[in-house]
Each structure stands twice: as C-alpha cells, then as structure tokens.
Structure 1
Amino acid sequence: MSPKYSGTCLCEDEGGIRFTISAEPIDPVCTCYCTHCSKGAGGIGQVMVAFPQDSIKIESGEDRITTFTFEATDSGKPKDKMFCKVCGVTLWTAPDHWKKLRQLLVRTPVIDGRLDWKPTVELTSNWRAKWTSLIAGAAQQ
C-alpha cells in the first residue's frame, strides 16, 4: 500500500527519523492537556491522532527511536512514549489500553502538513489553561 502521509523528527536533514503512514487516521483527532502531554509539548497540550501500528513504516533513523514508559499517569495506566533520542521530538505514544488495539497516538506536528487537523475531542479538558477557549464543536472529556 502506498504511503498516505509522511513525517519526520527535527533532525530530518542530519540522518534523522523519517516515516510513512499507509492508513487513514482513526477518528478522533484529539488534544490532551494532561501533565505529560503539556510538559512533553512544552505548551498547553498536544494534538494527536491514532493510526494502526502496522501502517507506520520507519524509512530512516530507526536507531534513533527510543521509548520511555510512564508508570504514574493521570489515567493510572502506563503508557510508552516513543521519541527521537537525538532531537527529543515525541513521535507517538502507546497508552496501555491502545496497545491492545495495536494503535499509536501520533503527534500531528510530526506529520508533514498536518497542523491543520482540528481536534474533535479535548481530553482532560478540565486541565486546559484558563486563558484558552473550548475548541468549537469538540467533545469534552
């Protein structure tokens, strides 16, 4: 199957991670404001979308991907964070319950040209910064 999407880490021009995705995203596009997502993004939260794990192919830089497992999470379930060990960019996460589905939550900023995907769900929305607004039409969880 031909790739539908491609993406990179920040060190793409210096032997970094390049990947392709051969499937369409699994709805919904979500943003999460939990502690890990906010700190990991260096901002108010992260925008991500699920893809089948087997639809993601590492084209280069696989040796740069490392995993950190969060045991103490807001959900109470562990999750793996896969990131570039050179530039530090988070590529995707695999919360424990998503692993069983064989899906990865891919950060939309690492997908080429996909910053325009609007979240349809806001996770841990009660943790959203008070100076921000609800995303119009997005479900609140």
Structure 2
Amino acid sequence: MHLEGSCHCGAVRFSLESKHPTPFNRCYCSICRKTAGSGGYAINLSGDFESLKIEGAESIAKYSAVIDGETSQAERSFCKTCGSALWLWDPRWPELVHPQAGAIDTPLPTAPELTHLMLEAKPDWVPLEKGVHDQCFDAYPEESIEDWHKRLGLER
C-alpha cells in the first residue's frame, strides 16, 4: 500500500510503500510517550525503507534514545520546526522503516485486534482500552508486525 505522510507544519512530506499498513500495536514505553506526546502506540506501521521519498529533508532532526544507559542504534526522525514525530529507522533492520501512524495522511485500515506492549511502563493516567481479541504484554511480544499481519490475512 502506498502511504503518504507529513509533519504538522508541512515542512516535511514523505511517502513509502508498506505491506504492513494496519496500525497493530499500542506501545506504552516512556520513549514513545515522550517523543510522540501520546499515551503510547506511536510507532506501529512498517514500510520498505528503499521506497521512502522525502521532501524537506533539511527540516528533519534525529534522536536516538538512551535505554539502560546505552544509546540506541534506532533513529527517530522528527521535524525540527514543529516537533512532529515522523518515523523510526534502525540499522539492525535496514530494509525497514517504521512511520508514526499519526504522521500518515493516507487513510489507514482499521485493526481487527491490537497488541498492547510494554505495559510495565504504562502510567496510571493512560487507560488500557483493551478489545476482546487484543493481546497484552508487559514487555515485547514474540510476534512481529509482519507475523501479525500474516496471521490476520492483512498483508497488502
């Protein structure tokens, strides 16, 4: 599926191809909450990094979170002008890019179920809105975004 996205101020626009465009998870870790300004569930799409096309690259800054005292290899790209979170790229999986669902302008498919992860980091003020078929994990599940899409017949 072809996806198009942008930051809030319009300084950055991007597009990419995705076989896994259904927002599948809600991550409650402090990194997702604090870098995307949400209760979590920010990075939950997967796309083909080679297909990523960017307009306004000069307005992009990158952040690598510190986890357990070490700087992560993953780079979170955001707009320097408005602060919008855009995508995450990790050199350990260089063929993938993970756009923030909130930055995507293309209508996205609705998930038939969700994966709630990193619940051990969920603050009390964030409600757990769990559906009947949703799965919950204190840390990371073993099922990947690709496997989740395949299991539910959602690959595009």
Length-normalised TM-score, structure 2: 0.70
Q: Is the 8 A contact 1:6 1:20 kept in 2?
A: yes
Please tell me whether residue 104 in structure 1 is matched to residue 100 in structure 2: no
Q: Distance in 1 between matches of 2:33 and 2:57?
A: 26
TM-aligned CA deviation for residue 62 of structure 1:
1.2
Counterpart in the other structure of 1:91: 86
Counterpart in the other structure of 1:4: 2
Q: Please show how residues 110-121 of structure 1 align to structure 2 within 5 Å.
A: 110-114=103-107, 117-118=110-111, 120-121=114-115
Q: Distance in 2 between matches of 1:116 and 1:39?
A: 26
* Structure 2 SS opposite 1:39: helix
Q: Cα deviations across residues 121-141 of structure 1 (Å, max 9, x unaligned)?
A: 222023234451243122222
Alpha carbons of structure 1 residues 53 and 100: separation in structure 2 relative to 1, 3 Å: same
Residue-pair matches, total:
133
Q: Distance in 1 between matches of 2:117 and 2:70?
A: 11
- Give the alignment partner of residue 57 of structure 1, picking from 53, 60, 66: 53
The unaligned stretches of length 5 or more in structure 1 are none
Q: Which amino acid aligns with 1:92?
A: W
Length-normalised TM-score, structure 1: 0.76
Q: Cα deviations across residues 10-59 of structure 1 (Å, max 9, x unaligned)?
A: 111xxx1111122332677222111111111223113321112112211x
TM-aligned CA deviation for residue 110 of structure 1:
0.6
Q: Please show how residues 1-141 of structure 1 align to structure 2 within 5 Å.
A: 4-12=2-10, 16-25=11-20, 29-47=24-42, 48-58=44-54, 60-72=55-67, 77-95=72-90, 99-114=92-107, 117-118=110-111, 120-130=114-124, 132-136=127-131, 137-141=133-137
Q: Which amino acid aligns with 1:135?
A: K
User: What is the root-mean-square deviation in Å for CA atoms of aligned residues?
Assistant: 2.9
**Identity across matched positions, percent:** 23
The unaligned stretches of length 5 or more in structure 2 are 138-156
* Structure 2 SS opposite 1:37: helix
* Structure 1 SS opposite 2:64: strand
